[in-house]
């Protein structure tokens, strides 16, 4: 019985440590292709302590190879480069899911940091932008960087400038890019820079995870040509039914509490049974 109790306690420890496994620092690897076929690699260090919700979201998107062949469609000189609309002309399931805002901005939006784009509170989805320079003014607008480039920062200067997106500028239309994908983008802006491969360093799946296009829901009729808002993002209302956290923290916490209750319940049952058995033997004696 003592061995069973010890085993259950070890199981509890495993549950607790498993819940904190997503808090580990990780490095994302992006392979870029620029105009003329030149290539380069960027390493992004992500510390979940800086932006835990964004860090978890970004990790899952990279592990699912979401950014493969996605191109930088909004690149403003001296400001930032934005990417995160799928290359294929369909909505990814993650594209419509919003995540909550962070509690605070820890990292500042300086050169080489990476931040989720948004159109207002709780509207972050899949679009991210790389800061070209000191954009610390975005900090007070609640744009929290989740990562920072630790290698290959020179690649930022090689990303093809597109200008502001339509209808406010000469650049690509987000609405048309969402509905038509890279077919629209590369036909009209063939020199844009694109992400060709991504992976989490040390991850067993890495860049081998392939997107299954057959499972992607198409929804172009409900997608009007969206307008841009500073500094980046889609004007898309928060769906209260959407998952606010890609790893579903509330569900994880519930399972952790449930596991604790079950473990302690079983331990209590065994000790109580053992005590009753001892008392019975004493009476028999």
Digit-coded pLDDT (tens) for 190-218: 999 999 999 999 865 443 333 332 232 22
Alpha helices in the chain (DSSP H): 2-19, 52-63, 174-180, 182-188, 249-284
Region 6-33 average pLDDT? 65
Structure tokens at 74: 């909004």
Region 3-25 average pLDDT? 52
Question: The domain spanning residue 181 has which CATH number?
Answer: 2.40.100.10
277 located within any domain:
no
Question: Structural domain of residue 82, as residue ranges?
Answer: 23-244
Decide if pLDDT at 141 tops 70: yes
Region 1-26 average pLDDT? 54
176 located within any domain:
yes
15 located within any domain:
no
Q: Please state the domain count of the chain.
A: 1
Region 244-268 average pLDDT? 48
Region 138-166 average pLDDT? 96
266 located within any domain:
no
In the sheet with 128-131, reading across from the earlier edge strand, the strands are: 74-76, 80-83, 128-131, 113-116, 145-151, 39-46, 26-33, 194-200
* CA-closest candidate to residue 124, choices 50, 56, 198: 56
- Cα separation of 55 and 58, whole Å? 5
1 located within any domain:
no
Region 103-121 average pLDDT? 96
The confidence band for 171, taking pLDDT boundaries of 50, 70 and 90, is very high
Arithmetic mean of pLDDT over the chain? 75
17 located within any domain:
no
Decide if pLDDT at 46 tops 50: yes
149 located within any domain:
yes
Give the pLDDT of residue 155. 96
Give the pLDDT of residue 97. 83
282 located within any domain:
no
3-state secondary structure of 165: strand
0.75 exceeded by pTM: no
- Cα separation of 60 and 181, whole Å? 21
Give the pLDDT of residue 71. 96
Give the pLDDT of residue 238. 32
């Amino acid at each position: 019985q003592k061995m069973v109790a010890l085993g259950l306690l070890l199981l509890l420890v495993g549950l607790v440590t498993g819940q904190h496994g997503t808090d580990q620092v990780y490095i994302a690897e992006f392979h870029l292709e620029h105009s003329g076929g030149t290539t380069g690699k960027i390493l992004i260090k992500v510390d979940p302590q800086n932006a835990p919700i964004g860090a978890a979201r970004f990790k899952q998107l990279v592990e699912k190879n979401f950014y493969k062949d996605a191109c930088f469609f909004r690149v403003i000189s001296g400001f930032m480069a934005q990417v995160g609309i799928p290359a294929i002309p369909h909505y990814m399931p993650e594209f419509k899911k919003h995540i909550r805002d962070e509690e605070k901005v820890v990292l500042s939006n300086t050169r080489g940091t990476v931040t989720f784009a948004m159109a207002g509170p709780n509207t972050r989805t899949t679009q991210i932008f790389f800061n070209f320079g000191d954009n610390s003014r975005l900090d007070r607008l609640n744009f929290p960087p989740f990562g920072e480039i630790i290698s290959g920062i020179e690649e930022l200067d090689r990303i093809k400038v597109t200008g502001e997106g339509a209808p406010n500028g000469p650049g690509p239309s987000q609405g048309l890019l969402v509905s038509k994908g890279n077919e629209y983008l590369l036909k009209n802006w063939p020199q844009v820079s694109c992400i060709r491969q991504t992976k989490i360093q040390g991850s067993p799946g890495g860049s081998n995870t392939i997107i299954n296009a057959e499972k992607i829901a198409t929804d172009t009729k409900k997608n009007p040509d969206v307008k841009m808002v500073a500094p980046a993002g889609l004007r898309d209302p928060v769906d209260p039914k959407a998952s606010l956290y890609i790893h579903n923290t509330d569900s994880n916490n519930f399972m952790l509490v449930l596991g604790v209750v079950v473990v302690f319940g079983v331990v209590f049952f065994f000790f109580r049974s053992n005590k009753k058995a001892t008392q019975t033997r004493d009476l028999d004696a």
